[in-house]
Amino acid sequence: MASIQKYTHNDVVYMLRHNSRECPRPASNTDIDPARTPSNYSLLPDRAAASSCREYYRQRLDEIYHMQRRDIVTACQWVITAPQDLDPEQERDFFDCTVDYLNSIYGADNCIQAVIHKDEGVKDQDGNLIAGRAHLHYLFMPVVQNKQYMQPNKHGNITKKAQYRQKLCANDLITKRHLQQWHSDYQKWINDAGITATVQSGVTGGKNKTVDLLKAETKMRTLEHENDLLRDKIATLEREKSRDIDIDLEW
């Protein structure tokens, strides 16, 4: 299961801290279990801390052309959850392979952060984990080649934009066609690596969902599970009540 999200500059700074668990946990985010946070790990050892990721991000931002506006998308993030049929012993290989796949598309130089979260999940009233698996947060900059590089304008001048080989443009990179092909290419990449896992299924149909939608679906499954538990509990109470009535009748 995978989803993609786009972020502005201010969002990126927050996400770097959130992904590395270096910002206060929001009171509403009860899905994070601090006791399991030490199990999280980075696939970029030199950029495990938010500060090092932020420094790299700003350095890379200076190397490519981008408009000076607050609302432009400066980074995108894939959130990829370990498939249900993945062997736990292949989990690290799966995520390493996934990062290689993403780097092959978006460029390793444009990867800002790659973190595995193992501390999120939904628990029932008894504290048992009923939803939530290890997942990857892959934050990258949507960089494309600048077709105007060193091309003079109609006045014969080389503009500032034309002096950059690359530019930021999420709309040019994350297209509908790109997303439609993404899952099938990902599945082939995983298969070629010798990893047994289903990342493309009839459920997704090759389409991508937002992080918020995936969380909403997880909550829905949790509520359905809790409803099942309540129904079982009610059925048990009814059986016990019926048994008590039978005992009273016998007396």
Domain co-membership, 186 together with 244 = no
Query: Is residue 137 domain-shared with residue 153, that is, in the same domain?
Result: yes
Number of domains composing the chain: 2
| Residues with Cβ within 8 Å of residue 174, at least 6 apart in sequence | 4, 6, 76, 142
Query: Among 140-144, 203-207, 220-224, whose mean pLDDT is lowest?
Result: 203-207
Residue 232 has pLDDT above 80, yes or no: no
Question: Which of 62, 45, 57, 59 is closest to 14 using CA atoms?
Answer: 57
Q: Which two tokens stand for residue 97?
A: 């392979």
d(CA 120, CA 81): 11
- Is 113 in the same domain as 83? yes
Q: What is the pLDDT of residue 27?
A: 45
Give kind and range of the element (H or E) at residue 212: helix 211-250
Let me know whether 82 and 200 are in one domain.
yes
Question: Are 187 and 229 contained in the same domain?
Answer: no
Do 22 and 143 reside in the same domain of the chain? yes
Are residues 159 and 227 located together in one domain of the fold?
A: no
Q: What is the CATH number of the domain that holds 131?
A: 3.30.930.30
Residues 141 and 237 placed together within one structural domain of the fold? no
Q: Is the dihedral of CA 10, 16, 18, 23 positive or negative?
A: negative
CB 183 within 8 A of CB 177: no
Q: How confident is the model over 163-178, as a mean pLDDT?
A: 90
- 250: domain range? 210-251
- If asked whether residues 102 and 13 sit together in one domain, one would say yes
Are 47 and 16 in a shared domain?
A: yes
What pLDDT band is residue 204 in, cutting at 50, 70 and 90?
Answer: very low
- Do both 204 and 236 map to the same domain? no
Q: Which of 209, 224, 242 is the last residue of a domain?
A: 209
- Map residue 243 onto helix, strand or coil: helix
